[in-house]
Amino acid sequence: MPLHDIDACVFDAYGTLLDFNSAAAQAADVLGDRAAPLSELWRAKQVQYTWLRSLMDAYVPFWQVTGEALDFALDTLGIRTPGLRDRLMGLYRELAPFPDVVDTLTKLRGKGLRTAILTNGSQEMIDAGCRHAGIASLFDAILSVEDVGIYKPHPRVYQLAVDRLGVAAERIAFISSNGWDAAGAAQFGFQVVWCNRYAQRAERLPTPPAVEITTLRELALP
């Protein structure tokens, strides 16, 4: 693995540590075969809205963005089941961790590396998610874009990790399942690992990640 001289590992949360598809999957008793299409559209609009709001200088917390994206997805798919929106939003606060998360974080901390989350999620939202997933104690810091009022991949977001951890960018390994996030972090100056969980094609963006893996179990830092 070409990463070297790493002092801290900083992780994206949604899609990297927490499975955003698990919310709709847990409502499959109501959604049936619409669970996967809903989840896909919900996520796509959620990410799109963060980019658009950043460009528009119209930041609102990620919880609001998540609700607005869900409203769009439900409306587009013609799903109007009473109480379903509230149920799905509640489930988004209780996303399942991927099965490789706990072991990987435990091993990294055993190596003496500092660990952190850097997420678009609002602070209350990500804190609740980490508590539910049982991983909150495995991080030295859980950092939210709320503190800078703009979303990834703006450089101010990545600077948060440098400032809060007191570690130079080039000595931070940044791990994300989102290709666009990996590209933004690499452009900023992190040593980036793209955990390509979803077999996506490489983004056509500047500064590709240093390493591509498919699960966090492949993250073998010295």
Between the CA atoms of 41, 44, 47 and 48, what dihedral angle is there, to the nearest 10 degrees?
Answer: -100
Active site residues: 12
The CA–CA distances, whole Å, from 45 to 13, 109, 177, 189 equal 17, 35, 17, 28
Please choose, from the candidates 105, 44, 107, the residue with its C-alpha nearest in 3D space to the C-alpha of residue 76: 44
The CA–CA distances, whole Å, from 119 to 34, 157, 160, 196 equal 28, 9, 10, 17
Please choose, from the candidates 128, 189, 150, the residue with its C-alpha nearest in 3D space to the C-alpha of residue 57: 150
Integer-rounded Cα Rg, in Å, for the chain is: 17
The CA–CA distances, whole Å, from 61 to 95, 113, 138, 145 equal 18, 30, 25, 9
The CA–CA distances, whole Å, from 49 to 53, 168, 216 equal 6, 30, 28
